[in-house]
Amino acid sequence: MLVSICVITYQRPRGLKRLLEGLDRLTFNKIEPPNIEVIVIDNDSSGSAGQSCKEIESNFQWVLKYGIEPQRGISYARNKSISRASKDADFIATIDDDEVPEPSWLEQLLLVQQEYNADVVTGPVVARFEEDIPEWLKKGKFFEQLRKPTGHPMKVAFTNNVLVRAEVLRKLDTVFDDRFAITGGEDSHLFMRLCRDGYKIVWANEAIVYEWVPKSRTKLRWILRRNFHGWSAQSLLERELYPSIKVQAIRLAKGSGLILFGLIGLLPSLVRGKHAAIASILNIYRGAGTFAGFWGIRYEEYKNLDTESRF
């Protein structure tokens, strides 16, 4: 069995080094270790990630491939990484350059894939903070992800923690749509398409990766913007892939409900504390994002990258 682990990176040398060291520590205790190749595609035309790969390659237990995608845009880099996977790869996994996997991460993904005969397996991303965070952020749990029992069917997955049958991606003319190169949402679009077309996506609750969150992302402005964008992208993609009147009516009802729920919660939050007020404001932003996506408004998340988060 051959697994290609695809990573894209942009001016994040410390994070990339941390990720590669984590991938080097992958262990297999319940299945026979697969052959693994790690593919790193640098979206910086100057090749700034090349040195990090060179430093670790000589002692790396897996095959390490490095390449450059000079055209700026997340879809271009992701497609380049998929194209560099060996033609006989059985599975393609992706993980982000600000993450570190548990040693059992890939084994857990493969175990769940085998047990449920899944086309796509995805798992949790647990936040780890670079610095101490404010109390309101701790109480609000704004970076905590909802967890599902292993085997739970999913309608979407994300490239921060996923395993896909390689043959599924080989059937596609284009894996990641170039329309989302600057806006993001290219991974949601891919996996929502696969779900719509009948491919099986399941959750692997023990396939854990840790995301290192820099101080710049613990600010209220970033959290509000991120939630607005996430719900906007979901709404926009759902409008394109599931255009029925019923689905769109439900989406608009959800958006209205979020705004109403947020407004109602503002007054009690004066007593409950800052975290409760922010939770209410977040619901308003999510609802507004839902309507923005419905009307086709896109936010170019990757047009101006936050240099503070380039670790």
Domain ranges in the chain are 2-213, 220-309
Residue 131 pLDDT exceeds 90: no
Band (302; pLDDT cuts 50, 70, 90):
low
- pLDDT tens profile 19-54: 999 999 999 999 999 999 999 999 999 999 999 999
Write down the pTM of the prediction: 0.92
Give the integer Cα–Cα distance in Å for 120 and 168: 9
The residue among 23, 33, 193 whose CA lies nearest residue 110 is: 33
Bridge partners of residue 162, in order along the sequence:
94, 122
* Location of structure tokens 């993450």: 99
Considering Cα of 293, then 303, then 186, then 203, what sign does the dihedral take?
A: negative
Quick one: CATH architecture of 2-213? Alpha-Beta Complex (3.90)
Judged by average pLDDT, the poorest of 160-164, 258-262, 301-305 is 301-305
pLDDT for 299 = 66
pLDDT for 266 = 92
Give the integer Cα–Cα distance in Å for 117 and 184: 29
pLDDT for 309 = 46
pLDDT for 218 = 94
Considering Cα of 239, then 244, then 245, then 250, what sign does the dihedral take?
A: negative
Cβ contact 194:92 at 8 Å? no
- pLDDT tens profile 48-81: 999 999 999 999 999 999 999 999 999 999 999 9
Residue 308 pLDDT exceeds 70: no
The terminus-to-terminus CA distance of the chain in angstroms comes to 33
- Say what the alpha-carbon torsion angle 287, 290, 295, 297 is, to the nearest 10 degrees: 100
> What percentage of the chain carries pLDDT values higher than 70?
96
Give the integer Cα–Cα distance in Å for 115 and 112: 5
User: Could you tell me which residue, 160 or 297, shows the higher pLDDT?
Assistant: 160
Average pLDDT of the chain is 94
- pLDDT tens profile 172-199: 999 999 999 998 899 999 999 999 999 9
- Token output for 104: 């059992």
> What percentage of the chain carries pLDDT values higher than 90?
89
Band (128; pLDDT cuts 50, 70, 90):
very high
Q: Which amino acid type is present at position 167?
A: E
Give the integer Cα–Cα distance in Å for 282 and 258: 9
Burial class (CB in 10 A: 0-12, 13-18, 19+), 279: buried
pLDDT for 307 = 41
- Token output for 251: 């989406």
Residue 230 pLDDT exceeds 80: yes
* Location of structure tokens 């899944």: 118
Band (303; pLDDT cuts 50, 70, 90):
low
Cβ contact 287:258 at 8 Å? yes
Q: Are strands 209-213 and 125-129 parallel, antiparallel or unpaired?
A: parallel
Residue 310 pLDDT exceeds 50: no
Band (82; pLDDT cuts 50, 70, 90):
very high
Number of helices and strands in the chain (H, E): 10, 10
- Token output for 189: 């679009």
pLDDT for 270 = 82
